[in-house]
Amino acid sequence: MHHSPEIKNGKNILTLDIGGGTQDLLVWTEGEPLENTLQCVLPSPTIMTARKINQATHSRKAIFLTGHLMGGGASSQAVRDHLKAGLPVFAQSRAALTIRDDLDQVARMGVRITDSAPDEAVRIEMGDIQEAALTGLFESFGLVLPETRLVAVQDHGFAPQESNRRFRFKQWEDFLASGNPLETLLYQDIPTHLTRMKAVQAIWPQAQVMDTGAAAILGTMEDEQVKKWTSPTLLIVNIGNEHTLAAWTMEGRLRGIFEHHTFFLNKEKLMTDLEKFVAGRLTNEQVLQDGGHGCLNFAPWEDRFSPLIVTGPRRKLLSDAPVIMAAPYGNMMLSGCFGLLRAYRFSNPG
């Protein structure tokens, strides 16, 4: 049996890791075997929203986007497809920020920014927290949503006048320079520029929020194979549905970050990029020009390094490589949830 994460005080904790393809949910209950806790892999909110938009497109109906800023991806593509079909898109400003940080750009795409829309428009509620769906799920099984809620989303940060990829990676650069543990990226007081995280808290004010990449890396460290590894260096790679994040650690400290878009990568390219990243021979600008977010390594390592530690829903990309496939507490898809718990434990010891 797998040992549960050590968090005391009779806690029931909801963890929700929201990605581009799935949202992964774990309710951890003190004293319960982990195997008996609620664990779900559900469609991500952006996928759910895209389906609703696609249905309206198929029915040749206008849509009205309301609610909150959320992750883009599938939902933003569905909006673009709706416009290409010659159909009207109305949106409240908060919801429209899902598509672009600059509302003037959104308007130039053809989206009509307004607080109201024609009665015939299909109203589509935006938001990373699908409260009605989650509440219905819990109620259907006679369960109550715990008050302690930990959420992971990827937030590029509000950057209307610059590349959001550059802006996001600048935040990683600042964090690496700070020397702070990854666990400190679980926020109760969210920085102003992290507007997607702020939108989560607008729906769930009690939520503590973290970046999905940081949560996945921390969760992978909970894997028993990883805990037993004696090497001073670790290279942990989370291959997500949309983003791939690699963390280079030395003596338990984060020393380097590499971030790219998964759909630009294959096995050979990823392995080559990772080797150059660890050795300090891959520049931030090279990754940016290649369509990724960037890379930075404060502790280049020219010697042979440990086998890769791999997690994430697209981990098969490296299935034939010499890697350790991490599955903390027996469930790879909940790596981010276990990372959230690890970060919570860090800030709430005892």
pLDDT of residue 164: 82
Chain segment 27-78, per-residue pLDDT in tens: 999 888 888 889 999 999 999 999 999 999 999 999 999 999 999 999 999 9
Using alpha carbons, select from 258, 150, 300 the residue that is nearest to residue 211: 150
3-state helix, strand, coil in the chain (%, to 5): 40, 25, 40
Backbone Cα Rg of the chain: 20
The CA distance from 340 to 219, in Å, is: 7
The single-letter code of the amino acid at 170 is: K
Chain segment 188-239, per-residue pLDDT in tens: 999 999 999 999 999 999 999 999 999 999 999 999 989 888 788 899 999 9
The CA distance from 295 to 172, in Å, is: 9
pLDDT of residue 1: 42
Which residue carries 């460290």 as its tokens?
221
Helix/strand/coil for 256: strand
Pairing type for strands 89-91 and 148-153 reads unpaired
pLDDT of residue 159: 84
Burial of 30 (0-12, 13-18, 19+ CB in 10 A): middle
Question: For residue 139, which phi and psi values (nearest 5 degrees)?
Answer: -65, -35
Q: Which residues of 292-331 are buried (b: 16+ CB within 10 A; e: fewer)?
A: bbbbbbbeebeeebeebbbbbbbbebbeeeebbebbbbeb
Question: For residue 307, which phi and psi values (nearest 5 degrees)?
Answer: -55, 150
The CA distance from 191 to 198, in Å, is: 8
348 alpha-carbon distance from chain centroid: 23
The CA distance from 206 to 107, in Å, is: 33
Helix/strand/coil for 29: strand
Chain segment 253-308, per-residue pLDDT in tens: 899 999 999 999 999 999 999 999 999 999 999 999 999 999 999 999 987 766 78
pLDDT of residue 2: 52
Q: Which residues contact 268 (CB under 8 A, 6 or more apart)?
A: none
Instruction: Tell me which of 85-89, 104-108, 126-130, 306-310 is least confident.
Output: 306-310
The CA distance from 238 to 314, in Å, is: 8
Question: For residue 65, which phi and psi values (nearest 5 degrees)?
Answer: -90, 125
